[in-house]
Amino acid sequence: MDKDIRKLIDSAKKRSLAAAAPDKQTILSLLEIGQGTEEMGYLLDAAEEVAQIVTSKKAYLWGAIGINYAKCSMNCGFCSFGEKWGIVQDEFSLSEEEILEEAAEYVNAGVYYIVLRTTEFYDLEKLSRIAERIREEVSGTYELILNVGEFDLQMANRLYRCGVDGIYHAIRLREGIDTGFEPDDRRKTLEAIKKSPLKLIHLVEPLGPEHTNEEIADRFLESIQYGVFISGVMVRVPVKGTPLGESEKLDAQRAAHIVAVLRLTGGYTIPNICIHPMSAQAVKAGANVVVTERGAIPRDAKPSKQAWHKVTPQLGRQLLEQEGYQVYPEVPKGPGSEREACGEECTGANLDRFVQPAILSLLLDECLTAYQIHGRLTDYSMYRDRPPDMAGVYRYTKSLKDRGLLEQKQSSKNRTMYSITPEGRRFLRSWISTLESYRDSIGLLLKEMGGF
Ligand code: SF4
């Protein structure tokens, strides 16, 4: 192995573990290491070691919700939303209830970073109200992140007060060339984030094979000046019909190489490194944050109702765990464990405030969304003072569906509606007879205790 490169890697590791800021020349030299060489193996091993030390083997899932599928006049050359490309036809925005449901679903799947993504000019006043509602109605362990247009310090502080933890914002590679922005306009937003209590997430993106080492290093180093909390790599996915739709895609090895350089030189300065789209090679090279997304997606011509490219939170968790990471938080314990306690036919071993039979009974005569179910439950006298939380209702609804007791369909307004199945009706009858038997037993018990 080349002794100078070995020395360079060792010194970069030592510096980054002492929280020293990366320097450009080191980054450039590391980015020049050839694929398949002994030096590359040494770099990947060193990056993996730094990742283990810096992260304490803790990893996170990033779940993006594209909340509006709309034409955007900024016309970035890699984005399907550019109005000039004519790809977006039937525009739509998710309703507040749908956003709440999606957020709750991610929280239930153990996603830590819940990311609301919009096109450039989405109304931030509206979004701040949605953020407040998510904070009030979706309980669990998560951080709320926005990926939106430009804003000033006043708005940054307001978003923080509404419960937003961080912002995804980036000066993209070839900003102002491949995009319709003045890079300085993006910098103003980064300044506002830096001066506010919000965290900054800024990846090197959208990365293609044409980008030089110099460009990569500059984007990474500038994000450090703005106090980046999560860095990493987002590989450009060419979308047919956009100006960059026929461009080549960066190969996974090169993406992993760049991740390794960011991890090795970022050290304690940048605790988290993300890769998107997800790749085992990049996780091995030091990425500890992986992305799942749904809804409106700038790297696809069509919105995705399910996880984009079937990359689910479960798949991300599996990948991170295979590399020895502990994914934070653990998946919240749901009704699956209750089912084990009860068996297929619930005998009342764990009544859990009767949420499941209450949901089934609400759906006897009508179809409802999970959000509507939550609202109706608060009409039940036993939940009036302490209603079940939205995330819990969502979890139970999904579990009942997974067990074949509920059916799911999309309404004309693209909302997820639930209805009871014949099996669900049978199950509810069994619940009612269990509850009646409880009521009789409790009545007898109280009578016998009456003289106490
Ligand atoms: S990347 Fe953002 S700003 Fe650019 S066209 Fe797409 S939505 Fe608009």
Domain boundary at 285, 301, 327, which? 327
**At 58, which CATH number?**
3.20.20.70
- For residue 267, pLDDT over 60 is answered with yes
pLDDT band at 3 (very low <50, low <70, confident <90, very high): very high
Shared domain for 115 and 192, answered yes or no, is yes
Shared domain for 153 and 283, answered yes or no, is yes
Cβ contact 196:157 at 8 Å: yes
Residues 6 or more apart whose CB falls under 8 angstroms from that of 451 comprise none
Q: How many CA atoms lie within 13 A of 422 on its CB side?
A: 0
Between the CA of 119 and the centroid of ligand 1 the distance, in Å, is: 6
**At 434, which CATH number?**
1.10.10.10
Shared domain for 275 and 423, answered yes or no, is no
Shared domain for 297 and 344, answered yes or no, is no
Shared domain for 344 and 272, answered yes or no, is no
Q: Using CA positions, which residue lies closest to atom 7 of ligand 1?
A: 119
Shared domain for 207 and 345, answered yes or no, is no
> How far apart are alpha carbons 75 and 68 in whole angstroms?
16
The reported pTM is: 0.78
Average pLDDT over residues 25-50: 98
Q: In this predicted structure, what is the pLDDT of residue 378? A: 78
Name the more confident of 392 and 100: 100
The percentage of residues in the chain with a pLDDT greater than 70, rounded to a whole number, is 94
Residues 6 or more apart whose CB falls under 8 angstroms from that of 23 comprise 265
pLDDT in tens, 223-249: 999 999 999 999 999 999 999 999 999
pLDDT in tens, 292-336: 999 999 999 999 989 999 999 999 999 999 999 999 998 866 544
Q: In this predicted structure, what is the pLDDT of residue 342? A: 41
Q: In this predicted structure, what is the pLDDT of residue 388? A: 74
Regarding the beta carbon of 153 and ligand 1, being less than 6 Å apart is answered no
Q: Which of 89-93, 150-154, 365-369 has the highest mean pLDDT?
A: 150-154
Average pLDDT over residues 149-157: 98
Regarding the beta carbon of 119 and ligand 1, being less than 6 Å apart is answered yes
Shared domain for 243 and 179, answered yes or no, is yes
- For residue 338, pLDDT over 50 is answered with no
Between the CA of 150 and the centroid of ligand 1 the distance, in Å, is: 11
Shared domain for 428 and 297, answered yes or no, is no
Q: Using CA positions, which residue lies closest to atom 6 of ligand 1?
A: 79
Shared domain for 433 and 317, answered yes or no, is no
The ligand 1 atom at the shortest distance from the C-alpha of residue 118 is 7
Average pLDDT over residues 3-20: 96
Regarding the beta carbon of 120 and ligand 1, being less than 6 Å apart is answered yes
Average confidence score pLDDT of the chain: 91
Regarding the beta carbon of 220 and ligand 1, being less than 6 Å apart is answered no
pLDDT in tens, 365-413: 899 988 888 888 877 877 777 777 777 787 788 888 888 899 988 777 6
Q: In this predicted structure, what is the pLDDT of residue 330? A: 87
Q: In this predicted structure, what is the pLDDT of residue 94? A: 95
* Least confident range of 3-12, 13-22, 203-212, 376-385: 376-385
Shared domain for 395 and 315, answered yes or no, is no
Name the more confident of 123 and 394: 123
Q: In this predicted structure, what is the pLDDT of residue 335? A: 45
Shared domain for 94 and 8, answered yes or no, is yes
Between the CA of 348 and the centroid of ligand 1 the distance, in Å, is: 52
Regarding the beta carbon of 79 and ligand 1, being less than 6 Å apart is answered yes
139: left (phi over 0), alpha (psi -120 to 50) or beta: beta
> How far apart are alpha carbons 317 and 328 in whole angstroms?
9
Candidates 68, 73, 74: which one to mutate for ligand 1, based on the most atoms within 8 Å of Cβ? 74
* 95 burial type by CB count under 10 A (0-12 exposed, 13-18 middle, 19+ buried): middle
Domain boundary at 296, 327, 358, which? 327
- For residue 165, pLDDT over 70 is answered with yes
SS3 133: helix
- For residue 11, pLDDT over 50 is answered with yes
Name the more confident of 446 and 142: 142
Regarding the beta carbon of 99 and ligand 1, being less than 6 Å apart is answered no
Domain boundary at 327, 347, 362, which? 327
- For residue 345, pLDDT over 70 is answered with no
Domain count, the chain: 2
Look up the domain containing 73 and give its range.
Answer: 3-327
For the chain, how many helices (H) and strands (E)? 16, 14
Shared domain for 167 and 304, answered yes or no, is yes
For 225, phi and psi rounded to 5 degrees?
Answer: -60, -30
